[in-house]
Amino acid sequence: MMWYWGNGAHWWAMLIGFLVMIAFWGAIGWAIWYFVTGSIGKTEQSSRPDNAKGILDQRLARGEIDAEEYRRLREVKGGDSTRVVNGHSAVGTGGQR
């Protein structure tokens, strides 16, 4: 029985080619999924009307800004009846506490 050992591709070369093809199409699929789901999340987040208030609340909670800065930025944003007393938000007090 004769075996072909010429200059052609061997079984391991075809296996490597197959694995590279799987990795290539997997990367293409992942990139499409990443950009589609990423753009949907950004659109939903930017269309929320209370986005600025939420960011301010998060910054106050993390300690990036103090209560006075929080009050000032809320007034610049549009002002509402929420008042911060001793670092805590007193919602619904109508500005009196």
Contacts of 97 by beta carbon, 8 Å cutoff, 6+ apart: 83, 85, 90
Over the stretch 68-97, which tens digit does the pLDDT of each residue have? 999 998 888 775 555 555 555 555 444 444
Which of these, 76, 36, 82, lies nearest to 57 by C-alpha position? Answer: 82
Identity of the amino acid at 81: S
Mean pLDDT of the chain: 76
Q: What is the pTM of this model?
A: 0.38
Confidence of residue 33 (pLDDT cuts 50, 70, 90): very high
Q: How many Å apart are CA 42 and CA 45, to the nearest integer?
A: 5
